[in-house]
Amino acid sequence: MSHDGLQPVDRQLPTEEARDLLALVRELAHREIKPRAAEEEDAGVFPREVFRLIGEAGLLGLPYQEEYGGGGQPYEVYLQVLEELAAARLTVGLGVSVHTLACHAVAHFGSKEQRTEHLPAMLGGSLLGAYSLSEPAAGSDAASLRTRATREGDAWRIDGTKAWITHGGVADFYTVLARSGAEGPRGITAYLVPGDAEGLTAAAPEKKMGMKGSPTAQLHLDGVWVPDSRRVGDEGQGFTIALAALDSGRLGIAACAIGVAQAALDEALAYGMTRQQFGRPVVDFQGLRFMIADMATKIEAGRALYLAAARLRDAGRPFSRQAAMAKLFCTDAAMQVTTDAVQLLGGYGYTADFPVERYMREAKVLQIVEGTNQIQRMVIARSLAGPESKEH
C-alpha cells in the first residue's frame, strides 16, 4: 500500500548537512530498497547489490572518522539513517548496524597502522563485515566462549564455532572474539579475520521466522591462521572491546526497531483511511483511533529515548545504561506496535498481501539479538543497584 499521502517523520537534526543526508536516504530507501523488500524477503534473497549501492552513497561508515573514509557523522544522525533504512527493509537497516558493529574494534581499538590499512575499504563500501561473538553454548553468557586462539610465532591459529552470525557466509571480514588465555572475560582477544581465510566455512543459513533475506549462520574456524598484525587491541582485551561495541550496537537495534514500528504505523494509517466499514473509514472508529494514538506515542517515546542515549555518546559521556534502556523499550514497543498493526488490518493483516505480518515477524528478533531484553533488564538494574549478591 502506498504511503504517498503520509508525511515523513519530523526529525530534529543538528545540521543542514544532516537534513540533506536524511532526505537522500529516504529517497534511496523508497526507490531502491522498499519496492523489492517483500518479494526478496519471501524468496530469502540477500540484497548484496543494495549494500554496494549504499556503500557508494557513503552510508556504511557514517559514524567513523572522515580521515579513514567514514562519514564523520554524530551517532544521533547515523541512528536516524538506520531507522529510515530499517523502515524500508529491516535486512538492510540491521545489516548496516551489524557492519558498523564489525568495524568498531579496528576503529576504536586498532593501531594507527591497522586503521590506515583496513578502515578505508571497511568504511568505504567495498567490504561488508560481520561480528562474531556468540557461540552454540555461549549466548547471553558470552564470557564463556570456547573458540580458541593459539599463538605460534607471529601468527595465531583459531579453532572453534561461532553461532548466530549475521552475514555469516557472505561477509568480507569477520571481527572474531576468541579465547587466547585463561577462562573468563580476561582471557579473550579480538581478531580481524578475512572472509576468504583458509579453514573458514559457514554452515547453511538458519531457517528463521523473519528476516529471511539476511543470512544468519554458524561459522566454523578450523585451523584459521591470522598474522599477529590482525590482532586488534591487547591480548586479553577482547571482552572489553566486545562490550564497548555492544553498547553502541544496542542503539543501532533500537533505531531499527523504531523504523519497523514506524513502517507498521504508516501502513495501518494508510489502510485505516481507505478501508470503509459501515459507510465510513475504519480510522473514524474510536477504538481504532485510540490504538493508533498508542502506537504513535510508543514510537515517539522510543525515538526520543534512543536519541537521548546517542547524544550522551556523542558528548563522550557514559551511556551503557541508556543504551540498554533504549534497546529494551524500543524493541518491546516495536513488537507491540506491529502486533497492533496486524490487528487493525484484521484478516488482511494476517496475509502476505500486506507487509504488517512481516513487520511483526521481524520485530520479534529485535527483542533477542545483541542481548535479549532480559539481559538488558539485568544491565539496567546492575547499573542502578550494583552487582547481584553472590550468595544463594
The residue from 32, 76, 267, 370 that is catalytic is: 370
Mean pLDDT along residues 61-86: 96
pLDDT score recorded for residue 134 = 93
Average pLDDT of every residue of the chain: 93
pLDDT band at 3 (very low <50, low <70, confident <90, very high): very low
Separation of alpha carbons 366 and 373, rounded Å:
9
281, 273 contact by CB (below 8 A): yes
pLDDT score recorded for residue 138 = 80
pLDDT score recorded for residue 185 = 87
Residue 36's nearest CA partner among 47, 27, 48 is: 47
pLDDT over 50 at 91, yes or no: yes
Give the three cell numbers for residue 147.
Answer: 573458540
pLDDT score recorded for residue 284 = 63
Mean pLDDT along residues 76-87: 98
pLDDT over 90 at 305, yes or no: yes
Mean pLDDT along residues 292-302: 96
Active site residue 27: no
Instruction: Read off the pTM.
Output: 0.94
pLDDT score recorded for residue 137 = 85
pLDDT over 70 at 278, yes or no: no
334 Rama class: left (phi>0) / alpha (psi -120 to 50) / beta: alpha
Mean pLDDT along residues 204-209: 96
Give pLDDT tens digits for 113-149.
999 999 999 999 889 999 999 999 887 788 889 999 9
pLDDT score recorded for residue 4 = 47
Mean pLDDT along residues 345-352: 92
Beta strands in 69-127 (DSSP E): none
